[in-house]
Amino acid sequence: MELDTETSSSSFLGDLGPPIRRYPYKGPKQFLETVKMEQSRQEEFEASEWVLFSNETSSRPNNQMAVSRGRNWLFGDPSKLMSDARFWLSESNGDVQMVITIKIGRSLPNIVLESWELVDDRVKCQQVITVNKGRNNSAYVDGQPLVIRFDKLFLRPPNNRRETDISIDNTILNKIARDIWEEQEF
């Protein structure tokens, strides 16, 4: 599957510096195929870049998800992750209301997820979830399930009872962590 990509130059995204690869998608199946395609493209890509996924069927044109990737950011610098969170929340004019950062340990099997929001005009960490590897390849989660509020993701209140917050519980976090650690050969 080959999708046209574009660089974003309108709105605050154009100020990011390096080109932003943009993938429009129309539904969950196409989104997952696009993510897999982009992941395989990036396996040999060494530099950092922004990737923007935008839902073309959304009634709100700014219903998008941006992913920052890069070897230095993935394994690294907590201040860079916080700076990115601050940028997205402060410069998006309300189009971004939640940022999730993920720190993956390079030398130890440790993963830290943090959710950030703008509270009283200040960027504040709202949730911290830590996943560590224990004996027998088991993962230990410290913190509540990661909750992505519906209104923060879709920028509107839910319209019916099926439109709810997304809760990423310990079972899902354990599976993600084990997959990451297997890839890292821990």
DSSP string, 59-124: SSTT-EEEEEE-HHHHTT-HHHHHHHHHHHHHHSTTS---EEEEEE-SSSSEEEEEEEEEETTEEE
Nearest to 132 by CA among 90, 96, 170: 170
How much is the pLDDT for 55? Answer: 64
Average pLDDT over residues 86-101: 84
6 or 66, which is more confident? 66
Note the pLDDT tens digit of each residue in 108-166.
899 999 999 999 989 999 999 999 998 887 889 999 999 989 888 888 899 999 889 98
Q: What's the rounded Cα separation, in Å, for the pair 124 and 180?
A: 27
Nearest to 180 by CA among 137, 148, 142, 151: 137
Residues 6+ apart with CB under 8 A from 20: 7, 8, 13, 49, 50, 51, 52, 66
Note the pLDDT tens digit of each residue in 52-93.
667 666 555 555 556 655 444 444 467 777 888 888 888 888
Collapse the DSSP code of 37 into the 3-class scheme (helix H, G, I; strand E, B; otherwise coil) and give the result. Answer: helix
Q: Does 180 reside within a domain?
A: yes
Work out the pLDDT band at 44, boundaries 50, 70, 90.
Answer: low
Q: Domain tally for the chain?
A: 2
AA identity, residue 64: Q
- Helices and strands: H and E segment counts in the chain: 5, 9
Q: The whole model's pTM is what?
A: 0.68
Length of the chain: 186
Q: Does 184 reside within a domain?
A: yes
Q: Does 117 reside within a domain?
A: yes
Average pLDDT over residues 85-106: 84
Whether 6 and 62 map to the same domain: the answer is: yes
How much is the pLDDT for 127? Answer: 95
Whether 65 and 7 map to the same domain: the answer is: yes
Work out the pLDDT band at 25, boundaries 50, 70, 90.
Answer: confident
54: β partners:
24, 64
Whether 163 and 125 map to the same domain: the answer is: yes
Whether 185 and 108 map to the same domain: the answer is: yes
Q: Does 75 reside within a domain?
A: no
Residue 130 contacts residue 34 (beta carbons within 8 Å) = no
Residues 6+ apart with CB under 8 A from 53: 22, 23, 25, 31, 34, 35, 64, 65, 66, 67
Q: Does 80 reside within a domain?
A: no
How much is the pLDDT for 47? Answer: 53
Last residue of one domain, picked from the residues 19, 53, 69: 69
The parent domain of residue 2 ranges over 1-69
Whether 57 and 123 map to the same domain: the answer is: no
How much is the pLDDT for 100? Answer: 87
Whether 135 and 57 map to the same domain: the answer is: no
Average pLDDT over residues 99-103: 86
Collapse the DSSP code of 21 into the 3-class scheme (helix H, G, I; strand E, B; otherwise coil) and give the result. Answer: strand
Which value, in Å, is the radius of gyration of the alpha carbons in the chain? 17
